[in-house]
Amino acid sequence: MRHRIDQRVWICCWLLFLPRGMPAGEIESALEAIKAVGREGAGNEQASRHWREIVNAGPKALLPIFQAFQGADSTTANWLRLAVEAILERETQAGRPVEKSLFESVATDRSRPAAARDLAFEVLDQLDPTARERLLPGMLNDPSARIRREAIDWALRAMPSADRLAELFTMARDIDQVERIAKELKGLGREPDVIQHLGLITRWQIAGPFDNSGLKGFSQPLPAEVTWRDYATGHDRAVVNLYRAFNLKRGVDPETKTKAAIYALVRTEVESPTEQPVQIRAATPNAIRIWLNGQEVFAREEYHHGMKMDQHVGRGVLRAGRNEILAKICQDDRTYEWTLDWQFQMRLCDEIGGAIRVRVLTAPEAEPDKPEATKKEPMR
């Protein structure tokens, strides 16, 4: 909220200095100049000048602005959003009505980038009190994660039946919505498969533990030879407790008052029906590296930063056929209570969190290892 207020103050300050009679100029050229701004601020001064020209052009610049979202990075998208907000603010200050049809056209056009559609829907919602009721029922399977979430929230307000809840479950992508609907379904006697729906991986091969003293294991090359062992987690959200998997005691040695710094290698193979983009989303409180078919797609050398589903995201492309996903999970030797967990969770999904079509080939015969009922894993 503070960020949004700061943006509005910034816009109002700019508007005070905009010449009211400035010609529109070459809007497309000005937008291209803004898209050329570097992430580190290179070209900011030139972009600011072009931004003022675009805003000065008024409502006729809105469609080109929305078109400019195509291929825009997050820096550019922020410039474009601010331009739309400044134009709307200027029209409001002048007492001129804003035509809402453009915003509805952009918001409902699934071929446009999600950032453009999200902004258009946000504006439309402010301009037209009927927009949600008219549009959201048809957006339950929307490619925009934000619009889809709004649509599912809208549908849940109607206290849906069990069959309708089951339908909404298949469409939900955000973790909290999935968990909420799953809980309601269980209360109605249904058993939704959350693991399959989220694309969580339960079957692995594991190797180790290996030495991580001095935290040297994270950057070390992978061992030339390792002995793999099949393992399947029975955790209801596919968390793999590595101490349990290796039959090691969690915690500090009571005699030496130490904890071993170690790391594990984990791998799984999946079969993809086609070549397809994939997000490998992981959660762990430990340092982690992830490879897809031998190519590193994610690395974070930080220990004990909490654990939350999807906190780490690696991006790659699955080839048609077999694919190997390999990860290194590193634990340090610190002995505070909050440093004792050594675990991870991983899933394969598309850009909005939907499970992708793959078949896990690893450890098909492994018996799922279920955690003790009295121990609650630190997931949320």
Verify that 215 and 339 share a domain, yes or no.
yes
Task: List Cβ neighbours of 259 (8 Å cut-off, separation of 6 or more).
Answer: 251, 252, 253, 333, 334, 335, 339, 340
Verify that 172 and 211 share a domain, yes or no.
no
Amino acid at 329: I
* CB distance 269 to 324 below 8 Å: yes
* Residue 180 placed within a domain: yes
* Residue 233 placed within a domain: yes
Verify that 171 and 205 share a domain, yes or no.
no
Verify that 202 and 184 share a domain, yes or no.
no
Cα dihedral sign, 271-273-277-280: negative
* Residue 160 placed within a domain: yes
Biggest distance spanned by C-alpha atoms of the chain? 80
Please say which residue of 142, 164, 194 terminates a domain.
Answer: 194
Distance CA 78, CA 126 (A): 20
Structure tokens at 286: 């430990």
* Residue 128 placed within a domain: no
Verify that 168 and 210 share a domain, yes or no.
no
Verify that 204 and 183 share a domain, yes or no.
no
Count other Cβ atoms within 10 Å, centred on residue 326: 18
* Residue 107 placed within a domain: no
CATH classification of the domain holding 207: 2.60.120
DSSP string, 292-357: ETTEEEEEE--------TT-EEEEEEEPSEEEEEEEEEE-----SGGG---EEEEEEE-TTSPBP-
Cis peptide before 137 (omega within 30 of 0): no
* Residue 42 placed within a domain: yes
The model's pTM is 0.83
Please say which residue of 148, 164, 194 terminates a domain.
Answer: 194
Q: Which domain holds residue 202?
A: 198-360
Verify that 302 and 345 share a domain, yes or no.
yes
Verify that 260 and 318 share a domain, yes or no.
yes
* Residue 214 placed within a domain: yes
Verify that 351 and 203 share a domain, yes or no.
yes
DSSP 3-state assignment of 290? Answer: strand
Q: Which DSSP category does 378 fall into?
A: S
Distance CA 11, CA 18 (A): 11
| Number of separate domains in the chain | 3
Verify that 209 and 181 share a domain, yes or no.
no
Verify that 178 and 228 share a domain, yes or no.
no
Verify that 183 and 232 share a domain, yes or no.
no
Structure tokens at 370: 């279920």
* Residue 44 placed within a domain: yes
- pLDDT in single tens digits along all 380 residues of the chain: 344 445 444 444 444 444 444 344 578 888 888 887 755 555 567 778 888 888 888 898 999 999 999 988 888 899 899 999 999 999 999 899 888 999 999 999 999 999 999 999 999 999 999 999 999 999 999 999 999 999 999 999 998 999 999 999 999 999 999 999 999 999 999 999 999 999 999 999 999 999 999 999 999 999 989 999 999 999 999 999 999 999 999 999 888 999 999 999 999 999 999 999 999 999 999 999 999 999 999 999 999 999 999 999 999 999 999 999 999 999 999 999 999 999 999 999 999 999 999 999 999 999 999 887 644 444 44
Please say which residue of 98, 126, 143 terminates a domain.
Answer: 98
Comparing CA positions, the residue from 81, 28, 72, 78 lying closest to residue 50 is 28
Task: List Cβ neighbours of 265 (8 Å cut-off, separation of 6 or more).
Answer: 206, 207, 208, 210, 222, 223, 226, 326, 327, 328
Structure tokens at 195: 């693991």
Identify any residues that bridge with 326 across adjacent strands, giving them in sequence order.
Answer: 267, 291
